[in-house]
Amino acid sequence: MIRIGIDDTDSLEGGCTTYLSSKVIEELPELSLIGEPRLVRLNPNVPWKTRGNGAIALSFKSDSSITDEELLNRILTIVKSDSHPSSQPGVVISRKKLPTELYWKGVRSILSKDKIMPFIEKTTFKGLRGGRGLIGAACAIAWDFKKSDTTYELLAYRKKNKWGTSRNISKDTVNTVSRLDGVFSCMDDDGKISMVPHSPCPVLWGLRGTNSDSLLNGLKYLGPEKAEKSLLFLTNQGSDDHLQETSLSEIEDGICVKLRGKVYSTPYSIQGGHRFFDLIDNNKTITCAAYEPSGDFRIKVDKLVQGDDIVVCGSLSQGTLNLEKFRVLRFENRYVKPPNPLCTKCQARTHSVGKDAGYKCRICSTKISKPPYKSVLPELDTCWYEPPSSARRHLSKPVALMD
């Protein structure tokens, strides 16, 4: 089998490695593709990613009529003409499997070219303009999709004369495909479309799901702008592969974690609508954050109370845990202050005479002691809560897919 990894061909100004990989497939007609091309998302905390830190892996049937060097040169011709000048492309060709350990490092830690060299020294590879893309290219080949949690994404591409113009995909058609079996992350609950990008790249839309037939069926519904071509990718999106199960005492900046702790401070908001609360475990605390783009997810965060025993998923950045989702395992008792009591003599509403000093009737001066706080039910369930799909990371497993 010939495995090809490609990464880092685009920039924020344009391009797309998935599109380039569709051209690689078209330009190698004598080779037979095995399975779907793979779109492999790597560590979402990598500071130099363009958008979703995605790399591509392709597998072809072994073919002795072409050498790896010839193959590399043909792919490099496409990469040179189609990659963005500010990108750092990398192409790796390997007849052997690369160790899965490399994928796990790529999805959970920060690597350097030096660190991946021992894994690719026996392969045929080339990096351009710095070649940082070799990291993603090698990690993408190393993804063992047969032993992994996988989903699909059908990517539709626009005609070249449309690139950079606004996309015309109606809410109605998105609504239709969002109801197809296994489809997820098309639209937020408030109707905002999340499957159509806004960058000047060639992608018209990306339809994600667990059932590839549904996605291919969805192609006919989406519009009115129609795709020039589409390509179905097998992906690690929605796998939570980036999350390390750990504890608060073992965390370090830059990693994505799943851990348990107790809510240690009442959630509060700051200007801009961002929410924060502290979490504690074994005397160690961390501030958890839900930022404004996470929409109504923040309202769920507001319902947490001190003492709730929760599991949180998120990434650690500058000492703050940016929440991707949370779930309450055990609720602390919740109490609310009852209304000021009525006067026992004249039935008028009493007023407080100071902290812990009870209440007094303004009419007859009767004193009444402070009534006990009222126990109330939590306004949350024991299910997972997550931000809307437009604010979710590609690797985050949507709650709809959680066991």
Q: Does 251 bind ligand ATP (CB under 6 A)?
A: no
Helices 68-82 and 17-27: angle between axes, nearest 10 degrees = 130
Binding mask 21-60 for ligand ATP (x = CB under 6 A): ---------------------xx--x-xxxxxxx------
Q: Does 230 bind ligand ATP (CB under 6 A)?
A: no
CB atoms within 10 A of CB 313: 23
Q: Answer yes or no: are the C-beta atoms of 156 and 215 closer than 8 Å.
A: no
Give the Å distances, CA to CA, from 6 to 55, 386, 396. Answer: 6, 32, 23
Q: Smallest gap, in angstroms, from Cβ of residue 49 to ligand ATP?
A: 4
Q: Smallest gap, in angstroms, from Cβ of residue 6 to ligand ATP?
A: 9
> Chain-centre distance of CA 59, in angstroms?
26
| Cα separation, 282 vs 247, whole angstroms | 9
Q: What angle do CA 238, 241, 245 make, to 5 degrees?
A: 125
Q: DSSP class of residue 60?
A: E
Q: Strand 203-209 to strand 151-157: parallel, antiparallel, or no bridges (unpaired)?
A: antiparallel
Span near ligand ATP by CB under 6 A; candidates 10-18, 161-169, 223-231, 290-298: 10-18
Q: Which is nearer to ligand ATP, 136 or 314 (CB)?
A: 136
Using CB under 6 A as the binding rule, the residues of this chain from 107 to 166 that contact ligand ATP are: 109-111, 132-133, 135-136
| Cα separation, 196 vs 60, whole angstroms | 30
Q: Smallest gap, in angstroms, from Cβ of residue 224 to ligand ATP?
A: 25
Q: Which is nearer to ligand ATP, 6 or 263 (CB)?
A: 6
Q: Which is nearer to ligand ATP, 99 or 338 (CB)?
A: 99
Residue from 3, 4, 7, 261 touching ligand ATP (CB under 6 A): that is 7
Using CB under 6 A as the binding rule, the residues of this chain from 95 to 114 that contact ligand ATP are: 106, 109-111
Q: For residue 234, which of 391, 12, 31, 21 has the smallest C-alpha distance?
A: 21
Query: Which stretches does DSSP call E strand in 95-228?
Result: 124-127, 151-157, 183-184, 203-209
Q: Which is nearer to ligand ATP, 16 or 91 (CB)?
A: 16
Tell me, by CB under 6 A, how many residues bind ligand ATP.
25
| Cα separation, 148 vs 155, whole angstroms | 21
Span near ligand ATP by CB under 6 A; candidates 4-12, 58-66, 272-280, 298-306: 4-12
Q: Which two tokens stand for residue 263?
A: 């809510």
Q: Which is nearer to ligand ATP, 141 or 279 (CB)?
A: 141
Residues that bind ligand ATP (CB under 6 A): 7-8, 10, 16-17, 42-43, 46, 48-54, 87-88, 106, 109-111, 132-133, 135-136
